[in-house]
Amino acid sequence: MIERDYRFLSIFLNEPVYIVEEPEPPEEAIQDQPEIRYKGQNKQEVLVIVYDEMTEYLSEKDEALLIKILQAVRLTQDDIALVNIHSLQNQVHNFTALNNISYKTLITFGETPEAFSFRKYLVKYQWNTDDQNRVYLQADALKDIAHDRTKKQLLWKNLQEIFC
């Protein structure tokens, strides 16, 4: 804690002055802040959230589909931050750490847990914005989109509105 000398205030004030210091967070709390690992370099600040129990990020098929989707709107894997929330599932406090990833656009593929602070902005196949002008879009899981023409069309329509 920084020691400060407030004795000079008595020159200006006749009433007693009480200094209320903000408590410093315990070191444990600072160390407990979880680090979210993601794939990509997040150059365009696009946060893509998926849920896959079997792989670190995505299966080869799902990743190939995601790459095609990104290319369709002139993005690459380096432009996004891909997060598989399966690794966060058992650690509820980790969901808030997603807010530490810088993003202008957030796209979720599949169901997202209620714990996300941005859940109120997610409506399936209907993009939405928050008070900071960040864009949100929720879609079905990539494996479901791959086999459903209607879902592909809905996703494509929204992505065009967001990125084109």
Does a structural domain hold residue 9? no
* Total number of domains constituting the chain: 1
Question: Residue range 54-73: average pLDDT?
Answer: 94
CATH code for the domain of 49:
3.40.470.10
pLDDT (mean) for 49-78: 93
Task: Please report whether residue 71 resides in a domain.
Answer: yes
Q: How far is CA 19 from CA 7, 22, 111, in A?
A: 12, 10, 48
Q: Where are the alpha helices (DSSP H) in 73-148?
A: 94-97, 142-146
Domain enclosing residue 138, as ranges: 36-163
Angle between helices 149-163 and 60-72 (to 10 degrees): 40
Question: What does the pLDDT average to over 79-108?
Answer: 79
Per-residue pLDDT at 35 exceeds 90 = no
Confidence of residue 30 (pLDDT cuts 50, 70, 90): very low
Give me the DSSP letters along 3-31: ----TTHHHH-SS-----PPPPPPHHHHH
Strand 135-139 to 128-129 pairing: antiparallel
| pLDDT of amino acid 96 | 67
Average pLDDT over residues 148-153: 96
Q: Which residues pair with 136 in a beta bridge?
A: 106, 128
Note whether residue 145 is domain-resident. yes
Lowest-confidence region among 30-34, 80-84, 119-123: 30-34
pLDDT of residue 115: 45
Average pLDDT value over all residues in the chain: 83
Backbone angles phi and psi of 138, in degrees to 5: -115, 135
Asked whether residue 158 carries a pLDDT value surpassing 90, the answer given is yes
* 13 part of a folded domain: no
Residue 132 inside a domain? The answer is yes
Q: What Å distances lie between residue 145 and 3, 23, 43, 69, 120, CA to CA?
A: 60, 49, 25, 11, 23
Is the residue at 10 inside a domain?
Answer: no
Q: Under 8 Å CB-to-CB from 16, ≥6 apart: which residues? A: none
Q: What is the pTM of this model?
A: 0.76
Q: Is 88 domain-assigned?
A: yes
